[in-house]
Structure formats: structure tokens, C-alpha cells
Amino acid sequence: MKLNKPAIWAPLLSIALVIWFVWNDTERVSPGPLSAAHAQDKDLDEHKCEVCHGADANDRAQMAVACEKCHEDVGQEIAGKKGLHGHIASDATRCGTCHSEHHGPQFQMVSAASFLRAGVEDVANFDHAGLEYQLSGKHLTLDCLKCHENSDAPLLEKGQRRFMGKTQDCKSCHKDPHDGRLPKCKDCHGEERPFLEAPLYKHTEQFPLTGAHSAVTCVKCHDKIGPTSIEADGEAKDKGKLVVRACAVCHKSPHAEVFLATAISELKLVKDASCESCHPLTGKTFKREDASFKKEWHAFSGFALVVPHDKQECRECHKEGLEYKDAHAGRTLENCVVCHADPHKAQFGERTCRQCHAYEVWKPSLYDVVAHAKSAFPLEQKHATTKCNDCHLESDGVRRYAQTKKACVDCHKNAHGTLFDKAKGCEECHQADAFASAEKRFEHLKWTGFAVDNAHEKAGCAVCHVQQKQPEPETKRVFGRIEVHPPATAAQCFNCHADSHRGFFKNSKDCSECHGTTVFAQAKDTFDHAARTGFTLVGAHQTRECTICHVPAPEKNATGRKFGFSKVDAALAQGACTSCHTDIHKDSFKEPSKNCLDCHTQVTWIDGREKFEHLRWTGFALEGRHKDAGCQGCHNPLPAGDASGRRFARAAGSDCSACHKDPHVGQFQIEGVTTCTRCHVAGTDFHKTSFDHQRDSRFPLDKTHKDVACTGCHAAWPLQGGGTAVRYKPLGVLCGDCHDTRR
């Protein structure tokens, strides 16, 4: 018999499977695993049927008893016909109708399907009325989870409840702010309006909430803790000891003490109970527009409404829309600026308007020449006939009186600017009767710091102070001005004379450090080139004439200078040879070299090869055969030198192809560049390569091709234009590219 034939082993396998299923079914007792809710109870087991079903699994009465044993609260609902289970139309003791079991741990025993079987089609809009639990007000809009926090929980721990166990006592869900000292919450607050409004509470008849008090919340008047708290007032009311508070107990009076005291005295009122005289409780607000106030009562504030204030309306002085303290500033008859703009902008400090102006009439002022004599500036001589406005000018729209300055220059234009600020006054040089002439009394050294001596002494004033053709419009001055004002000394020549050095030696003390006061031109013997310019003359620079760098100008310039200027700033030229000399390297060594002295010296320029580091300066290491080759091997000698004096030509380049012919005619170019060192070792025998066919090619050599000579695949190919070259790439890698596969 051949068992490997399907006709034989297929029927045998079918019989074996049938036998296994029959045996497995007979071993299985439970209809399925328990739900997660029951599985967490260690006393329940899917194989211990009698715990829930009793001895007879078909006796539903025994199962109902078992369910009630664990779910007593549900059994009480059913027995008392209360709650959801007590109102189910079908037999509520058949728990499995709504809560099926043996569907595994993922099955939810309480679900929308459970409610549907119980007669509840829409769980979210469940009507609580049938449960003796009537929802009203804001409770109707709450989400189920707000009260039943476990309603959507997939699994409850033993002892937790999903919906049951709730009461309609407010304190079961909300914290009682009164700590149980007041009756039921609904008696005052209801469920329709916000809690703080307490719309159902009726205030006492002794203090009806009318007018402005009608819109005030309870906690506004009844503090949380204290003798007037809601709880304390409730207890006082029960004991008949409730006291009606006066206005001053809750409200701070904005009125001045003198106003209240005078009003109480004049109107014979009771202290702390006088507010209603002007502010009736029936008014909408406590503000002045709802108050009742007689005009003669204004005198209680100390400000009687008499001429010229007897015709104004209240709002003209007490602006609407302002806080009380701003609208009622506690003004007096002497304090005019509280209501009226001060045209003097507080120039007179604490002095009042009445000291210069009459109370009934503002203009003209009471301040005259006699009063002015008591000031710090009596009006004498010409000032006595001068108009007030000629001295007291307007500034920023305000005419200035107080603190008017008394110096001459405060009113008269100062022809000297700030030059003589240290002078006690104009009278030190000028006279009041003849102001123009001051030459005889003027001390030039004292006032300017410039001694007029030697050559300057011989020159007249007009040499420096050239007389102006037209007098200055404001000062009427014709005496000429100098361009640079003191302080100055005779040694600071550039104040009057042009600087022939163009400011290069501006840090010097003065010209006398190099020049004399008699012969100015020659300064060579006393000139320190390194100290003055920052350029030290050493080597060849020290032996050359000054005119090599300072080429004389063909003619004198405006300063009279003929000595030429260097091409660049000397401090910059010290290490930058190319500022004067041509760079024969054309910036080849700009980086990382700091200057030419890294290779050359100032004594002899030509020989710098001993200090030259080829790799550092060119990036090209002289190794192997390159090390043994002389400089002229790459840099062709220039016997006559070029225009810059260079004796060696530049190298053709740093790539092999720059000096050597490419025998591979560009086969190994990558983006136009051939890198020979990819296969050849630089500086050694060029015929030796580092090429690895297994690593570096697309065609690793197997055992068949390994012994084949290179020329077997890489043969010489003719080139266009003549000649040949060994072909390396591109070559095919398939058998058919080299062999005839038809054989």
C-alpha cells in the first residue's frame, strides 16, 4: 500500500478530525468564558456552574436568587417596584435577558442593548421621573457622566456602582457652603437661576431689597465669615435679634468729614443715618444724578455758590462719567486751578491766584511796577520803560513770569556764544554806555588761553579776526570770527594753519614735537619713523632714501608741502609688503600666510627657498620622485625674469594630468576630473597600482577569470586621429559581451 497517495491518506485525516471534534465537544462544559466583571470575582468560575445556576441549570428561579445574593440593591428595587429595575415591563428577575453572560472578557454586560431590552431607547435622554428622581433646571442639560461618573467605565471594581446609589439631596453632589446651618437648598436657590442669586429667598420687611439693592447678590452684603454672614443673620432672625444695618456700615462715605458734620448739624440729622436725606433707597443708583440736593447745601462743603459761581449748573463743575473723588475734588474759593486752567502752568508754586488777581474780575492784573520793585529784578533805567511782554516772552504757548533770568545774555543775543561763560558778566569787558568797544580791557591769554606773542604779537587783530563786510543781523557784530575757538595754544598750529600731514599725527601733543616755531619745513633729524608711523625701517628699507617711498610732488600743494605721501598708511604697510611691492605670487599665499616675511626677509628678497614649506603653502606634498626633482622640474626657469621680477614660472597645476599625459585618454574621469591616485600610488613606481579588481570594479574575478591575463579582456583599441589606448571602461559584464553564447 502506498500511503503517499492522496486517495488513501485524505479520508483517514478526515476521520481523525471528526473524532477530535467529538471528543473536544464532550469535554467542554461551559458555554463560554465569563465576562470581565464576573471573572474578577475569585468565587466565580466558568466551570463552577452551580454558584450562579444552582443544582439545576434549567431552574431560572435558582439563578435569580444567586444574582440577588450579589446584587442586593437590584433585588430591593425589583421587590419594591422602584427604580429602573422595578419598572421593567417584563420579568425583571430574568437578569440574563438584559445582561447576557459567557461571551468572554471583552463583552459589555451593561450597554445600549441592555437599556433597549429594558425599554429605554435613548440612554442620553433618559427620563428620571419614573424613578422618583425628578430632574429640573440646569440638571436637565447635564451630561450623564457629570453625576454617574462610572456610566461609561468598561469594568467596575467590586462594590462600585454605575448608576445606583444617588439621592436628590443637593449635598450629595455639591458642597454645602452653609455647613448645614440653613434649611434645604431649594428653598432659597431653586434649580433655574445661578446659585448666588437665591431667587426664591424673600428678604426681611425691615430692609426690603428695592432700588439699587434689588440687583445686589447676597454675598455682596453678607460676608462668608462674620456677624453679618448669611448663616449668622439666619440664626439672628430665628431668635428675633436681627438688626437692620445703617448705610455707613456697608458703604464708605465719599464725602469729606467737614461736609457731613455740617450737614448733620444744619439739617439736624442722625449720624450714620443721614444718607437718605439726599439718596433715597428707592433710587436706581447711589450716584449724584439720582440724588436730591439743594443748592444752598453746597455751603456745607466750605464753598458757597456765590458770585461768580452762582449761575453754573452742577455738571459744569462736577463732570459726569468721572469717579466721585475726581468729580468732587474738595475745592475751595482760593483753589482756582482745580476748575480753571492755569495760564501760568504752575510758575508761581504755592502762591494763589488771589495774590495777583481780584476774585470777581480776572483782568487786569494787580501786579504793577511797584510790586516788581520787591522782586529780585527791580525795573530801573531803560528797563522801567520796557513793556512787560518784551522781557516776559511766550514759551510753548505760556508767557513766562516767575524765575525769569536776569543776565544780559538771557534777553540780549550773545555775540560770543559760550566762549566767555566763566566771566562774571558782560561788564568785565564791556561798559553799559558803550558796549561795542572792549579792546583795551580784554586780556587775550586769560579769556582764550592763547598767548599773542612773537610773530602773532606783531600781527594785528584783523589778521585772525577779519572784519566782516556786513554786521550780523542779530548781534550787529562786525569784528571777525576765527574758525577754531579756544582753548588753543600757539603750538596747535592746525587751528589756523592747514595740516600738511592730513591729520596723520593728530595724536601728537603739538607740531613742536618735530618742528620749530621759526623754521617749520625741515624735521628729518628729529623724526622717529617707527614711533610716529608704526613702520620700523630695517634692512634694505633703512638704507634707502626717504623719497623712494615719499616721491616728491611736482609742485607744492595748498599747504606748501612738496614732500610726497606714501602709498598706504605706514601702520598697515609694516607686514603687508604688497602695499608697495608687486605680489609675484598673485595672492597664491594669501592664506594661511600672514605676510611675505614668512618666507622672505627685508635684507634679501630673492632667496626664500630654505624657509619655504611646500605642503603648507601649496597644499602639494613633495613625496617620492617629486621630492628628488628640483624646483625647475615643475617651475620652468625664467632667466630674464617677468615684469614683476619673478625668476620661476608657475606650476601647471596640482593634478597629475597637469604635468603628465593621461595614457587612459580620460576613461577614469569623474565629472571631468581624472584622479590618478585612485589606482596609482603617488611618488613611487607609477606602474604599481593599488587597484583591486574584486573591490574597485563592477566585475569581481571568479576562479575562471582570475587566471586570465589582463590583456585577455583589456586590449589596445585604436583611437580616433591615430594611436591606441588600452580599453578599461566601459566594458560589459555579461558573458555574451565577450563570449559567443551560441556555442
Are the beta carbons of 318 and 325 closer than 8 angstroms? no
pLDDT at residue 686 is higher than 80: no
Alpha-carbon distance of 486 to 495, in angstroms, equals 9
User: From residue 84, how far is each of 80, 155, 160, 192, 675 by CA, in Å?
Assistant: 11, 21, 18, 26, 91
Nearest residue to 272 (alpha-carbon basis) of 292, 246, 296, 302: 246
- The pLDDT, as a whole number, for residue 317 is 85
Are the beta carbons of 412 and 391 closer than 8 angstroms? no
* Amino acid, single-letter form, for residue 58: N
Alpha-carbon distance of 209 to 545, in angstroms, equals 112
Are the beta carbons of 573 and 579 closer than 8 angstroms? yes
Residues 6+ apart with CB under 8 A from 218: 196, 198, 201, 230
Alpha-carbon distance of 94 to 125, in angstroms, equals 25
User: Residue 290: which pLDDT band, with cuts at 50, 70 and 90?
Assistant: confident
| Mean pLDDT score, 143-150 | 88
pLDDT at residue 26 is higher than 70: no
**Half-sphere exposure (Cβ direction) of 132: Cα atoms closer than 13 Å:** 12
* DSSP 3-state of 674: strand
| Mean pLDDT score, 126-148 | 83
| Mean pLDDT score, 218-232 | 83
DSSP, res 411? H
Alpha-carbon distance of 351 to 348, in angstroms, equals 6
pLDDT at residue 494 is higher than 80: no
Which letter, b or e, does each residue of 360-396 get, where b requires 16 or more Cβ atoms within 10 Å of its Cβ? eeeeeeeeeeeeeeeeeeebeeeeeeeeeeebeeeee
- The pLDDT, as a whole number, for residue 467 is 87
| 39-68 per-position pLDDT tens digit | 888 888 888 888 888 777 677 778 888 888
pLDDT at residue 449 is higher than 50: yes
| Mean pLDDT score, 228-242 | 81
For 3, the grid coordinates are 500511503
Alpha-carbon distance of 493 to 497, in angstroms, equals 6
Residue 429 has a CB neighbour count (10 Å cut-off) of 18
* Amino acid, single-letter form, for residue 200: L
Are the beta carbons of 568 and 580 closer than 8 angstroms? yes
Task: Determine the longest span between alpha carbons in the chain, in angstroms.
Answer: 158
User: From residue 660, how far is each of 463, 655, 657, 669, 717 by CA, in Å?
Assistant: 80, 9, 5, 15, 21
- The pLDDT, as a whole number, for residue 550 is 83
| Mean pLDDT score, 712-731 | 87
Nearest residue to 715 (alpha-carbon basis) of 724, 723, 727: 727
**Paired strand residues for 670:** 673
User: Residue 13: which pLDDT band, with cuts at 50, 70 and 90?
Assistant: low
Alpha-carbon distance of 270 to 264, in angstroms, equals 7
What percentage of the chain reaches a pLDDT higher than 70?
89
- The pLDDT, as a whole number, for residue 707 is 87
| Average pLDDT of every residue of the chain | 80
pLDDT at residue 438 is higher than 80: no
Which letter, b or e, does each residue of 542-565 get, where b requires 16 or more Cβ atoms within 10 Å of its Cβ? eeeeeeebeeeeeeeeeeebebee
pLDDT at residue 25 is higher than 60: no
pLDDT at residue 305 is higher than 80: yes
- The pLDDT, as a whole number, for residue 34 is 87
| 323-368 per-position pLDDT tens digit | 888 888 888 878 888 788 888 988 888 888 888 888 777 888 888 8
| Mean pLDDT score, 731-739 | 85
| 252-269 per-position pLDDT tens digit | 888 888 888 888 888 888
- Greatest mean pLDDT among 499-508, 528-537, 554-563, 581-590 lies in 528-537
Nearest residue to 301 (alpha-carbon basis) of 338, 276, 273: 338
Alpha-carbon distance of 181 to 211, in angstroms, equals 30
| 85-119 per-position pLDDT tens digit | 888 888 888 888 888 888 888 888 888 888 888 88
Angle formed at CA 272 by CA 269 and CA 276, multiple of 5 degrees: 65
pLDDT at residue 671 is higher than 60: yes
Are the beta carbons of 27 and 17 closer than 8 angstroms? no
User: Residue 137: which pLDDT band, with cuts at 50, 70 and 90?
Assistant: confident
For 135, the grid coordinates are 430632574
Alpha-carbon distance of 275 to 254, in angstroms, equals 11
| Mean pLDDT score, 174-181 | 82
- Comparing 47 with 593, the larger pLDDT belongs to 47
Predicted TM-score (pTM) of the model is 0.35
**For residue 630, how far is the Cα from the chain centroid?**
65
Residue 8 has a CB neighbour count (10 Å cut-off) of 11
Cα four-point dihedral sign 543, 548, 552, 557: negative
For 577, the grid coordinates are 609688503
Q: Classify residue 408 by burial, with Cβ atoms within 10 Å: 0-12, 13-18, 19+.
A: middle
User: Residue 28: which pLDDT band, with cuts at 50, 70 and 90?
Assistant: very low
| 616-666 per-position pLDDT tens digit | 877 788 877 788 777 888 888 887 777 777 778 888 887 887 888 888 888
Q: Classify residue 583 by burial, with Cβ atoms within 10 Å: 0-12, 13-18, 19+.
A: middle
User: Residue 27: which pLDDT band, with cuts at 50, 70 and 90?
Assistant: very low
* Amino acid, single-letter form, for residue 169: D
Nearest residue to 73 (alpha-carbon basis) of 11, 212, 150, 166: 166
